A and B are shown apart, each in its own frame.
Chain A
Amino acid sequence: MKKVFLSMAAIAMIFTSCSENENEISQDQTNVDMSDFYVYTDADIDESSRSANSKSCYSMVNLNRQLNLNPGLEKKMYDVEYHTRKLIAGKGKPPGTGGGGSGGGSGDSDVDVLPIDDNLGVINIPVYVHVVYADANSISNSQIQSQINVLNSDFSNTNANQLPSGTTFENDATNAGFQFTLAGTFRHNDSRSSWGTNDAVKSAYPPVTPETHLNIWVCNIGGGILGYAQFPGGNSSTDGIVVGGDYFGVTSGVYGGGRTTTHEIGHYFNLRHIWGDGRCNRDDFVADTPKSDRSNGGCPTYPTVHCKDADMTMNYMDYTYDSCMYMFTDGQRNRMRAIFAPGGARASMVGS
């Protein structure tokens, strides 16, 4: 008898451990469900020993390194996320599925999020650019201005006319409502040819008033990395984004459209990659972006299907070529703007 129960229990355990690990989405809009939030992984304790052995050029960078250096950061990022969700849950009642979901034909549900009226108007972002090259004049003023122009276009145009026929994305394309102005350029002649992604360039040339200004370092990163960012809630001494000079502003080639900077500012404004950096059940915390389990590269043809739905490969937070990405969604807009609302992680930038 006991044996049988034990076997049953064992089988039941196998069964549950194999079941899809879908996160349940809270039914109650007034409660803020944080159960799916992730910043950090448990295995990180090993990180110091790992990077000591690793010859990788990215060995010490980014979020986890920052989390290790600054134990309060995880809590801070949790708070940023909580604030974002609370604000969106309070102001924006997602209309649920349906909406304008006519196209597709594959039976996929089209979630339509409406832009939240946050009373912030067009948010102005003053930008400082730090050019760090052996010849710091190699990045011209007009190249810098071309980047500012691309940002002003990308963060306000829906570009819905560029969408291929058959998508359900037209009602998602958004005017994010940001404007960027160049507040100053700092040029540093420095012969270092590869700065990596460990924030070395920020230590060498610290940000200027990062509480009120977006700082962009333009330098050669190396290791095949075009640019990298820091999420809100991080250390102010490293706040900002880093972009390789070949991909900054309008240059040439498939990444010459200035959209590496658009993508990195997306992270700086709290956006995750559109596929959620994981499998189908990992979300990017945005309701109107389709689920996916991988990035897309190059210039994909529509539809590119992962996790049963067509991916939004034209979203700035995917990895496609510059000319093949041209939209943020309303959900991403709400998420980005939430950090500028009172109490938000970048609220101090508003009105400065």
Chain B
Amino acid sequence: MKLIFTIFSLILIPKECNNISSNFTALQERQDTITITYEAVSRGFFEEISLSKDSLTICNDINKKEYKTYNLSKENWSTCLELLSKIDMNGLSELEAPTTFRYADGAAHATLIIKDGDKEIRSSEFDHGHPPQEIKELVEKLLTLKKIATKQ
């Protein structure tokens, strides 16, 4: 019986999802290779807010040629990592958007993108201004950081 179970497992395990450990300590250990990006796109509207360990980059150019980079404090980065650790990264692509204004252009299409080493995890699309509950805190933190950075 055990043998059958082992064989069964061996067949199935390689097909499992590429699970990504997202607890806070694990994230801190590989924080140098993590990027958190929020992107909102519509026709004529583009906003990309990208965070890495010590910088915040903002891009409003659809052709991604003009960037502005700001310093990011350790505290802010740590807060974002902590918020990220509360998110199930493996479930990002299946998140259900609470609203659908974007279907007929009533809102920009937003995506949360996590780069983790050579992996890129994209959330499902949602309305800019109406993030799914699961990622709401992190998305709002990114938008707040952008607001503060661009005010200076």
Which residues of A pack against B, CB within 8 Å? 1, 4, 7-8, 11-12, 14-15, 18, 21, 39-44, 46-47, 50, 54, 56-59, 61-65, 197, 223-231, 247, 255, 260, 263-264, 267, 272-273, 277-279, 293-295, 297-298, 319
Contacts and interface: CB of A to CB of B under 8 A. Distances in A.
Nearest to B131: A50
A56 B9 CA distance: 49
A255 B44 contact: yes
A39 B101 CA distance: 11
A277 B130 contact: no
A225 B109 contact: no
A11 B8 CA distance: 9
A21 B103 CA distance: 21
A295 B43 CA distance: 9
B41 interface: yes
Given A4-B1, A58-B127, A255 B43 contact: yes
B45 interface: yes
B104 A63 contact: yes
A230 B42 CA distance: 16
Contacts, number: 148
Which of A18, A225, A294 has the most CB atoms of chain B within a 10 A radius of its CB? A225
Given A62-B106, A63-B106, A297 B41 contact: yes
Main secondary structure of the interface of A (DSSP, over half): loop
Given A58-B107, A197-B105, A294-B125, 20 more contacts: A15-B16, A50-B99, A58-B106, A58-B129, A59-B130, A61-B107, A63-B100, A63-B104, A197-B107, A223-B45, A224-B44, A226-B42, A231-B104, A264-B104, A273-B103, A279-B93, A297-B41, A297-B43, A297-B62, A298-B63
B12 interface: yes
B43 A230 contact: no
B109 A277 contact: yes
Given A7-B5, A12-B12, A277-B109, A62 B42 contact: no
Nearest to A43: B98
Interface string B36-78: 0000011111100000000000000011000000000000000
Contact of A58 (B17, B111, B128): B128
B96 interface: yes
Nearest to A3: B5
Contacts of B129: 54, 56-59
Given A267-B104, A279-B124, A11 B12 contact: yes
B97 interface: yes
